[in-house]
Amino acid sequence: MLHSSVTFVQEGHLLMLSSLPVTIQLGMLYALMSLGVYITFRILNFPDLTVDGSFTTGGAVAAIMIMQGYHPWLALAGAFVGGLLAGVCTGLLHTKGKINGLLSGILMMIALHSINYRIMGMPNVSLFKIDTIFPNASAISEAPYLRTVVFFSVILGVLIIKLLLDWFLHTDLGLALRATGDNDRMIRSFGANTDMTKIVGISLSNGLVALSGGLIAQSSAYADVYMGVGMIVIGLASVIIGEAIFGTRNVFFATLAAMLGSVIYRIIVDLALRVEWLEASDMKLITALIVIIALVVPAAQKQWRNRSVARKRALTLHTTDLPGGESDA
Amino acid sequence: MLKMRQVTKLFFPGTVDEKIALVDVNLLLQPGDFVTIIGSNGAGKSTLMNIISGGLKPETGTVTIQDTEVQQLSEHKRSRWIGRVFQDPMAGTAPHMTIEENLAIAYARGKSRGLSFGVNRLKRLFFKEQLSLLGIGLEDRLRARVGQLSGGERQALSLLMATFTRPKILLLDEHTAALDPNRAELITAMTEKLVREMQLTTLMVTHNMEQAIRLGNRLIMMDKGRIILDFNEEEKRSLTIEKLLAEFEKISGHKLADDKMVFG
């Protein structure tokens, strides 16, 4: 895709310099997807596999609408709506259909594969030489400063969406949504319909994922029925990497972490692709490994820490308390 | 305020595990009544609470809250009238959200949840004022995550969240049972104060017989899905644990057996 960047060799190390803005920009476009994954995975505590399908839905809707002559911005709105609808379906399957969460996501992912094919009518669509919201190659060669304009516009645009999401999560509805994932029995006892909050959350999540898909299709001038494969794992990896680096002390930092995690993920991919013995096709394995490590290590650490604390505490009891003595405080 | 008529609830009907949880339960609560409920394990106390809150739906019978029949309404729809504190201190609050966010969720009880800020300056002032009534310093920790609070603090917060919007009915389901004696006493005192000040119609399940006799203006005893004893305020005043146990044996024909029962 976007690996045409210049690299140069310095003291035997491969350094990437000029491609960094390109990678960051790509990471920011995918950041909307990881924000979506953050909503389901972290807020609703619901690993939603719909993402693999809805990302493609976004790309497919955007590409086809542009092909048919709709304005590229309208095409993006269409992608967003497509994702919202896909999310509503998953939410309905899970809440009203009482289907297990993972299975509802898988069912929608499979169903969307056919739907995406129907939307596009063919396995892939090229937007080469068609106007998108991104300037095409000839426009950039005429006015190179456009590259910088696009770079900062993307960052600003994604940042605005992040801030809108932060705002939403602090509204009454947003609080109910967060409480649904945190303690659904409690929020029901205060009058929120948890079926409704789950559907809203899953829908918004897939809307953002599809928006990301629409942006990626436009920026790479290409949409493909397989463009979403493995996206959920990339989203999880981004969220987890971001959390490890930036923490989750409140909503602002948690969404910032999801966003920047996506950028860091892209930089990791970029670096990995420069390792000679790694193939581009190894990336999915590496991504899965990142997620596995990020899930296993903290759990193991916690267990190990608890055990050592318990052991120390037990030892102090041996030395201070007489057998049969009152130890209850 | 609350009226239950001929309520019956079965679990696993028609199977070998069939269990009769409630049989022909009739109960009428006047506004401001504070009723304590005791009974042995499996007497139907929790089922009664869940039938009122909407966690369970009765097989037959009606539940009426202030002229509205609610037995078929879902739990979240009824909760506009019903405040509830659970036995588990973890159950009534959202641990990863802050104290003020939890209060904002409780504050929105019975209102539609829209897109205005959950916590704003005015609400924050109100929350501070309400928290200071608890007298345990939570008013200075509005932005602390609830997961960092102790069990007693969480239960105090749950109690405030359940009551400060003045629900028509307050359900307390052994809400001090999981706390150590000192904290349990503190929460009991808070409960008494809040219920009295807001004149809440309250149903409280407890395993502490002394507490059941001391608190409230009415005492109900349940056994095998039925209400077998019902003492009004006057009868309750002369009641002792011994008398209560003797009455129970006389009516039910067996001794009160409950591992958790506290007599003193």
Q: Which of A249-263, A267-281, B187-201 has the lowest mean pLDDT?
A: A267-281
Q: What is the pLDDT of residue B259?
A: 56
> Where does the pLDDT of residue B10 fall: very low under 50, low under 70, confident under 90, or very high at 90 and above?
confident
Euclidean distance between CA atoms B201 and A201, whole angstroms: 36
CB-based contact, A249 to chain B, within 8 Å: no
Residue A13 has pLDDT above 80, yes or no: no
Inspect the interface and report whether the beta carbons of A170 and B118 lie closer than 8 Å: yes
Q: What span, in angstroms and rounded, lies between the C-alpha atoms of B23 and B246? A: 23
pLDDT for B79-91, tens place per residue? Answer: 889 999 999 989 9
Model confidence pLDDT, tens digit, residues B226-255: 898 898 888 888 888 888 888 888 887 777
- What is the structure's pLDDT at A138? 82
pTM equals 0.86
How confident is the model at residue B62, as a pLDDT?
92
Interface of B with A (CB under 8 A): 53, 74-77, 79-80, 82, 84, 86, 90-97, 101-102, 104-106, 108-111, 113-119, 161-162
As a whole number of angstroms, the distance between CA A42 and CA A163 comes to: 17
Nearest CA in chain A to B77: A191
Share above pLDDT 90 across residues of chain B, in percent, rounded to a whole number: 53
Judged by a CB distance cut-off of 8 A, whether residue A182 touches chain B is yes
Please, what is the average pLDDT of chain B? Answer: 89
CB contact under 8 A, B84 and A171: no
CA of A43 to nearest chain B CA: how many angstroms apart? 10
Give contacts of A185 with chain B, Cβ < 8 Å: 86, 91
Residue B106: its pLDDT value, please?
95
On chain A, the residues whose CB falls within 8 A of the CB of B82 are 189
Distance from B58 to chain A by nearest Cα, in Å?
18
* CA-based nearest residue to A314, from A327, A301, A303: A327
Q: What is the arithmetic mean of pLDDT over A252-265?
A: 96
Q: Are A51 and A33 in contact (CB under 8 A)?
A: yes
Output the CA angle B225-B228-B232, nearest 5 degrees: 130
Q: Which residues fall within 8 angstroms of residue A298, CB to CB, at 6 or more apart?
A: none
From chain B, pick out residues whose CB is under 8 angstroms from the CB of A189.
Answer: 53, 75, 79, 82, 84, 92, 162
Would you state the pLDDT for residue A36? 98
Average pLDDT over residues A291-298: 84
Instruction: Name the helix (H) or strand (E) containing B228.
Output: strand B226-231
A179, A192 contact by CB (below 8 A): yes
Contact check, Cβ <8 Å, B119/A170: yes
CA–CA separation, A34 and A250 (whole Å): 17
Contact B3, B64 (CB under 8 A): yes
Contacts of A186 in chain B (CB under 8 A): 91-94, 105
- Among the residue ranges A268-282, B22-36, B124-138, the one predicted with the least confidence is A268-282
- pLDDT-derived band at A3 (thresholds 50, 70, 90) equals very low
The full 3-state SS of A166-228, as one line of letters, equals: HHHHCEHHHHHHHHHHHCHHHHHHCCCCHHHHHHHHHHHHHHHHHHHHHHHHHHHCEEECCCC
- In this complex, do B94 and A171 lie within 8 Å of one another by their Cβ atoms? no
> How close is the nearest chain B Cα to the Cα of A253, in Å?
14
User: Which residues on A lie below 8 Å from B102 (Cβ)?
Assistant: 179
Determine, for residues A191 and B119 on separate chains, whether the beta-carbon distance falls below 8 Å. Answer: no
Q: What chain B residue is nearest to A179 in terms of C-alpha separation?
A: B94
| Alpha helical stretches, state H, chain A | 20-38, 50-67, 72-95, 101-120, 137-142, 145-169, 172-182, 184-189, 194-220, 231-246, 251-273, 283-320
Measure B247 CA to nearest chain A CA, in Å. Answer: 35
pLDDT over threshold 70, residue B72: yes
Confidence grade of residue B121 (pLDDT, cut at 50, 70, 90): very high
Q: Are strands B60-65 and B2-11 parallel, antiparallel or unpaired?
A: antiparallel
pLDDT for residue A9: 36
Contact list, B97 vs chain A (CB under 8 Å)? 175, 178-179, 182
